[in-house]
A and B are shown apart, each in its own frame.
Chain A
Amino acid sequence: MLVLESVSYRYAGAARPSLRDVSLTLADGEVVGLAGPSEAGKTTLCLVASGLAPRTVGGTLTGRVLLDGEDAAPLPIHQLAGRIGIAFASPATQLSGVADTVYEEVAFGPMNLGLPRDDVIQRTDEALAALRIDPLAPRNPARLSGGQQQLVAIAGLLALRPGLLVLDEPTAQLDPAGSRLVADALARLAHGGASILIAEQKTDLLAEICHRVVVIAVGAVALEGPAAEVLADRRLDQLGVAAPAGVRLRRAAQAAGLPHAEQERLRQAVEA
């Protein structure tokens, strides 16, 4: 379980804090979505939650980040690596750049932890299978599509067997086919009971996989609640977040005065 207690964060040299008094809980097996316009603080929240800020990026943090009840601040980053995995928007920069094959790329994290060889192999095999990318194992990661590279990056995290995953806009730099590939994989992980904190502009993806959604605006929590309620909230537009396609379609149907039965049929079609 991950708990952020009244967290505020300011980057070194910044005029104002990027996060202001943010409290958030991610229970085991829960998928929480982070929505918000650009520069709202989603990436910063992901960095704080994963322990990379302020350790790696500097800056000042107030408040507490608790991991399974333990204060995460004193933990060295390599210990956190086995407990929280973080993926970023750009697929290419997450690859180690030193692996000739996807298999070695996925094994990179467990190898860094100095685990026994058989354990590394088992974790790597499981991570590849979990994302159904075993056929890519002998391929050169640099020669894959963006969507495939993102899956390899996420598999690299899964191989570390973290208790929770933090995903910072994992489909932001992908084409529609790549986005679909990653979304399907995330949906499988979510339905399989993984704990995931995912920042994403694409609210359709959040609607598909999240139990709860938190909307961030100017570094603070603006809306929070069950995904279906928050993503249907009319205040989303004012906060600079586009509602999911299904919600917009329903509103358009209501505005056009379609009969309730027709609206219901549309809703079912979109959900299908």
Chain B
Amino acid sequence: MVAVAIGGLVGPIILLLGAVLVPAIGAGVARPLVRATLLLSLPIAISVVLVNVFFFPGGQTVLFRIGPITATAEGLVFALEILARILAISGAITLFYLTTRPAELVVDLERRGVSARLTFVANASVQTVPAMVERAGQITAAQRARGLDTEGSVLRRLRGVLPIVGPAILGSIGEIEERTMALEARGFTRPGRRTLLWHPPDSGQQAAARWLLLAGGVLIVVARAAGWLPWLG
């Protein structure tokens, strides 16, 4: 959010390095962070660069031409600015997922008053992914045993996906009723707060760091809006 608010090129890059990459190195997740961030950003980054470099309105400084299409320096600068913001946003989100255990997140949210149903949905969604992957693997093996070809050309693979996706989704939907009944039978729909057995440790230093980050973010945005940081580009 701060990256979007401050705009320019230098600001988001400083944020990306200081608030994302450095903490990621400290947490030992720099390598998966870079890989996941690039993968997340790649599709939108390609379209942003192509559209802005070749079709930037008001672009005057010509870099090169491909037939009737002209690449401009103004378009390239704008594309880089957008790209820096996208990388800062996807990097921050990736860092959050790489360094936060879902169970700790939902317990802490619930402790702070967020509805148990909301945290259940968030947690169950994350936990369902491995189960779905496992189910898809079982269905794939079963369909292969009955002669389904899931290897070879792209077209052949696509044809092979349909008989797997159908049972995987229908099977999950079929389980919903029984899962709902099992939750009801265990008092899940009772109104009021649930008892929490534990919550993640939250030291004074962590709380101070959170407030500092928030205050720093607000300060930078205000300073940028007031024109005090022209060098951010």
- Are chains A and B native binding partners rather than an unrelated pairing? yes
Q: Which residues of A contact B (CB under 8 A)?
A: 47, 50, 52, 55-57, 77-78, 80-82, 84-86, 88, 90, 92-98, 100, 104, 107-117, 120-121, 142, 153, 156-157, 160
The 24 sampled A-B contact pairs (Cβ below 8 Å) are A47-B181, A52-B185, A56-B180, A77-B189, A78-B184, A81-B186, A81-B190, A86-B181, A86-B185, A88-B178, A88-B182, A93-B182, A94-B178, A96-B186, A97-B127, A97-B131, A111-B194, A111-B197, A114-B193, A114-B194, A115-B195, A142-B127, A157-B186, A160-B187
In contact, B197 and A107 (Cβ under 8 angstroms)? yes
Residues from chain A with a CB closer than 8 A to the CB of B178 are 88, 90, 93-94
Q: How far is the CA of A219 from the CA of B22 in the complex (A)?
A: 67
Contact flags (1/0) for B105-136 with A, using CB distance below 8 Å? 01000000000100010011001101100000
Contact flags (1/0) for B158-198 with A, using CB distance below 8 Å? 00000000000000000101111111111111111111110
Contact count band on B: 20 to 34
Smallest CB separation, A75 vs chain B (Å) = 12
In contact, A160 and B179 (Cβ under 8 angstroms)? no
Known A52-B185, A116-B195; judge A98-B123 contact (CB<8 A).
yes
Residues from chain B with a CB closer than 8 A to the CB of A92 are 131, 175
Query: B103 at the A/B interface (Cβ < 8 Å)?
Result: yes
Q: Nearest 5 pairs between A and B by C-beta?
A: A78-B190, A112-B187, A81-B187, A109-B186, A98-B123
From B120, B182, B187, B196, contact of A113 by CB (8 A): B187
Smallest CB separation, A79 vs chain B (Å) = 8
Residues from chain A with a CB closer than 8 A to the CB of B106 are 98
Besides A57-B181, A88-B178, A156-B186, 14 more A-B contacts (Cβ < 8 Å) are A52-B185, A78-B187, A88-B182, A90-B175, A94-B182, A96-B183, A97-B179, A104-B197, A109-B186, A112-B194, A114-B194, A117-B196, A120-B195, A142-B127
In chain A, what residue has the closest Cβ to B134? A142
From A97, A142, A157, contact of B185 by CB (8 A): A157
Most chain A CB atoms below 10 A, which of B124, B131, B185: B185
From A50, A55, A112, A142, contact of B188 by CB (8 A): A112
Q: How far is the CA of A112 from the CA of B116 in the complex (A)?
A: 9
In chain A, what residue has the closest Cβ to B106? A98
Residues from chain A with a CB closer than 8 A to the CB of B103 are 98, 100
In contact, A98 and B124 (Cβ under 8 angstroms)? yes
How many A-B pairs have beta carbons closer than 8 Å: the answer is: 104
Q: How far is the CA of A250 from the CA of B179 in the complex (A)?
A: 42
Smallest CB separation, A18 vs chain B (Å) = 15
Contact flags (1/0) for B80-112 with A, using CB distance below 8 Å? 000000000000000000000001001000000
Smallest CB separation, B107 vs chain A (Å) = 10
From B124, B128, B186, contact of A108 by CB (8 A): B186
Q: How far is the CA of A40 from the CA of B193 in the complex (A)?
A: 40
In contact, A56 and B181 (Cβ under 8 angstroms)? yes
Most chain A CB atoms below 10 A, which of B177, B182, B188, B197: B182
Residues from chain A with a CB closer than 8 A to the CB of B175 are 90, 92-93
Q: How far is the CA of A80 from the CA of B189 in the complex (A)?
A: 11
Q: How far is the CA of A169 from the CA of B193 in the complex (A)?
A: 33
Residues from chain B with a CB closer than 8 A to the CB of A82 are 187
Q: How far is the CA of A142 from the CA of B126 in the complex (A)?
A: 13
Residues from chain A with a CB closer than 8 A to the CB of B192 are 114
Residues from chain B with a CB closer than 8 A to the CB of A100 are 103
Q: How far is the CA of A90 from the CA of B190 in the complex (A)?
A: 24
Q: How far is the CA of A113 from the CA of B185 in the complex (A)?
A: 11
In contact, A93 and B179 (Cβ under 8 angstroms)? yes
Residues from chain A with a CB closer than 8 A to the CB of B116 are 112
Residues from chain B with a CB closer than 8 A to the CB of A88 are 178, 181-182
Known A93-B179, A110-B195; judge A142-B131 contact (CB<8 A).
yes
Q: How far is the CA of A82 from the CA of B184 in the complex (A)?
A: 11
In chain A, what residue has the closest Cβ to B127? A97
From A90, A93, A109, A116, contact of B187 by CB (8 A): A109
In contact, B186 and A52 (Cβ under 8 angstroms)? no
Residues from chain B with a CB closer than 8 A to the CB of A156 are 186
Residues from chain B with a CB closer than 8 A to the CB of A153 are 182
Q: How far is the CA of A117 from the CA of B181 in the complex (A)?
A: 25
Q: How far is the CA of A88 from the CA of B186 in the complex (A)?
A: 13
Contact flags (1/0) for B207-231 with A, using CB distance below 8 Å? 0000000000000000000000000
